[in-house]
Amino acid sequence: MADAITPSSPLSSAGFSDVDASNPAGPSDERHPTLYYDDGTVVLSALAQDGSRQYFRVHRSILCRHSPVIADMFALPPLLAKGSKTCIAESYDGVVHVQMPDSAEELTSFLTMFYDPLGTAYKRFDPNTPVLVEGALKLAMKYECDALRRRIIESLEADWPQTLAQWDARRAEAVILRSEHSLQLTGKVDGRYLDDRLPEPASAIRIASDHGIPSILPAAFYQLALLSTDADWDAYRANGGKHLRFGARTARWRLLDKRDLMRLVHGQKLLAGHTRAIGTDIFGLRCQRGVKGCTKARNDCWKYFQENAPNSMDDPLDILHDCMRLDTLFTDLPCAACTAEITVMAEKKRRELWRSLPAVFNLQ
């Protein structure tokens, strides 16, 4: 059967093994604990990272329904054992056996998507989603499973806003979550830290860059720009959650390549410029109506942002959001006309900044 596969097929490197069904696996090999169905019609196997071979017994009809490449492969008649008209030469546990060229980890991710159609394995805002679906996305593209590829991309896009309104909605949810965690002595809610309940940007950037999903890159890079390089996903979890219990956010910095880091540095520099511009373009102007104390109130507002909100100074979108609601933050406000002007200017600058994020991070 293997010699009948055309070289142009993505499965051309797949092999078939003649395995004795009475002793189907070697000592270091194993059947997958959840993807080995007794009524399956084909066994796929692949090598795991530890060198062992893992076996998956699944249903040929399901694979063929989703992948035209795999359907074409199974359209070929199986190779029969020498001298036999009925016994399949390449078999495992009584059914056709295909040795896949992909890793067992990738195959697990890929096959899980077919047997979990509602995506229950991947929760909304789960920071591990890009890591969990990377193998499935890679094989979905390789084996031309277009519907599966779209579903994975839609799942990723749901976690990373493509509009400013979506960003604000996610920001509001994050504020509520942070409030819930701040009330717990351990910093945990349902056994998870805040960082375990919000999307992680570095893995999102990696999967988007590697597999052509530009729609999530602006928001992911912006989120990453707000984090310290010391806030490492693995390091913070290795120290017993000392920082995580206080709501720290982290990233998988090791997943980023040189180009990602150069884009990040470029973006952080421009975002700092946007923050400085808020001080000059919005709060640095004098009251055109000459209202007594108005200009001082403007200056006091900006001073407050600088002195009492140091974390958000790296987040011009957040600062501009607060500029649109000065009446909820201050008692000594600029005059009513200036306050209204500040709101309009801040809203305009927010929209402009959001639209410019692809250029800010050199994504165009």
95 versus 12: the higher-pLDDT residue is 95
Q: Give pTM, 2 decimals.
A: 0.86
Asked if the model's pLDDT at residue 22 lies above 60, the reply is no
295 versus 248: the higher-pLDDT residue is 248
pLDDT, tens digit, 9 for 90 and up, residues 345-357: 999 999 999 999 9
Asked if the model's pLDDT at residue 188 lies above 80, the reply is yes
Helices in the chain by DSSP H: which ranges? 60-66, 68-74, 104-115, 129-142, 146-159, 164-182, 201-211, 217-225, 233-238, 258-281, 294-308, 316-323, 336-360
Find the range with the poorest average confidence among 60-69, 225-234, 312-321.
Answer: 312-321
Q: What is the pLDDT of residue 193?
A: 97
132 within 8 A of 110, measured Cβ to Cβ? no
Find the range with the poorest average confidence among 117-121, 162-166, 191-195, 201-205.
Answer: 117-121
Asked if the model's pLDDT at residue 20 lies above 60, the reply is no
95 within 8 A of 41, measured Cβ to Cβ? yes
131 versus 4: the higher-pLDDT residue is 131
pLDDT, tens digit, 9 for 90 and up, residues 97-146: 999 999 999 999 999 999 986 666 678 899 999 999 999 999 999 999 99
Q: Torsion angle, CA of 60/65/68/71, rounded to 10 degrees?
A: 30
- β-pairing, 53-58 vs 42-47, is antiparallel
Q: What is the pLDDT of residue 64?
A: 96
Of 308, 299, 305, the closest CA to residue 338 belongs to: 299
pLDDT, tens digit, 9 for 90 and up, residues 289-338: 888 889 888 988 898 888 876 567 889 999 999 999 998 888 888 899 99
Q: What is the mean pLDDT of residues 264-289?
A: 92
3-state secondary structure of 364: coil
Phi, psi (rounded to 5 degrees) for 236: -70, -30
> With bands split at pLDDT 50, 70 and 90, how would you rate the model's confidence at 285?
confident
Q: What is the pLDDT of residue 6?
A: 33
> With bands split at pLDDT 50, 70 and 90, how would you rate the model's confidence at 61?
very high
Q: What is the mean pLDDT of residues 206-213?
A: 97
89 within 8 A of 81, measured Cβ to Cβ? yes
Asked if the model's pLDDT at residue 154 lies above 70, the reply is yes
| Distance, CA of 136 to CA of 108 (rounded, Å) | 8
